[in-house]
Amino acid sequence: MTVLAGSASADIATQTGIEVAPNARFVLEYAQGRLQLRDTATGAPGPLWVDLLSPQLESRRKAGRGLLLAKACGVRKGKPLPRIFDATAGLGRDAFTLAALGCEVVAMERSLVVQALLADGLARALASGDVAARRVQLVPGQAATRLVARPAADTVLLDPMFPQDDRSALSRKEMQYFQALLGPDNDEAALFGAAMESSVRRVVVKRPRIAPRIDATRPVDVVFEGKSVRFDVYLT
Ligand SMILES: C[S@@+](CC[C@H](N)C(=O)[O-])C[C@H]1O[C@@H](n2cnc3c(N)ncnc32)[C@H](O)[C@@H]1O
């Protein structure tokens, strides 16, 4: 996908490796002290940026171990905190929520644009003194490759983009951006296979509630179902 030139395009290109294209639809720019992505198409939603200290994330943090995400990932009272390998970091909310619970999180993201937004959000959270941000290590690249090398983790979390579904964990705006910029993650089966072979004990797949399983041939061990999202847990 071609992206983008913004007000600080030369700097952004140098920092991120993203190609600068003068008339691209998407603009990556610094505004109000943050890096944001703006869709210039008519009728497009407002800009997208990572806010790890938003009220929405704050309330998730307050829910603590009671969150389905936490339960699914194996965060339990009296047990050691699982080390998390988040293979699909996206805008970092799941990674950051788990880090706020005390987990060390390796968060992998393959899209250069999403990496740039997430790195900026993490840097702002760090600068504000938030301790959870220190537990998140953002790693650029293809997670499947890293999983083959058997990461030191207890839980692998997978939340690939589900095609054309309004009930996903992403908000409407985020969904519009992700679909236009990235499209569906068509290689999710390979990613799941790599996770199951990685020797990590627990693989958690986040799906829209009514979506089919990521692999119909593998029996799921535990399911945590919310209003719009479901977590399928595989114990390897
Ligand atoms: C639905 S979003 C994840 C949202 C995330 N859970 C959150 O809390 O913000 C999916 C993201 O995973 C990334 N992704 C998908 N497959 C990947 C892979 N094999 N390796 C690295 N990143 C991947 C996509 O680029 C996209 O940014």
- Average pLDDT for 199-211: 95
Give me Rg for the CA atoms of the chain.
17
Length of the chain: 236
What digits encode the pLDDT tens for the residues 24-48?
888 888 899 999 999 988 988 999 9
- Which residue blocks in 65-220 are alpha helix, DSSP H? 68-73, 93-100, 112-127, 143-148, 172-181, 188-196
Which of 26-35, 89-98, 125-134, 176-185 bottoms out in mean pLDDT, i.e. has the lowest?
176-185
Structural domain count of the chain: 2
Atom of ligand 1 nearest to the CA of 188: 16
**What's the 110 CA to ligand 1 centre distance in angstroms?**
7
Question: Higher pLDDT residue, 54 or 89?
Answer: 89
Residue 76 shares a structural domain with residue 27: no
Q: By residue range, what is the domain housing residue 37?
A: 1-49
Residue 159 shares a structural domain with residue 170: yes
For ligand 1, atom 1, the nearest C-alpha belongs to 161
Residue 102 shares a structural domain with residue 183: yes
pLDDT for residue 5: 54
Read off the amino acid at residue 11.
D
**What's the 78 CA to ligand 1 centre distance in angstroms?**
31
What digits encode the pLDDT tens for the residues 57-82?
888 888 888 999 999 999 999 999 99
Residue 65 shares a structural domain with residue 80: yes
Residue 134 shares a structural domain with residue 23: no
Residue 77 shares a structural domain with residue 151: yes
Out of 147, 185, 205, 231, give the residue to mutate to test ligand 1, the one with the largest number of ligand atoms within 8 Å of its CB: 185
Is 140 touching ligand 1 by the criterion CB < 6 Å?
no
Residue 193 shares a structural domain with residue 156: yes
Residue 102 shares a structural domain with residue 159: yes
For residue 107, give the CATH number of its domain. Answer: 3.40.50.150
Residue 45 shares a structural domain with residue 62: no
- Record the pTM: 0.93
HSE-CB at 159 with a 13 A cutoff on CA atoms is: 27
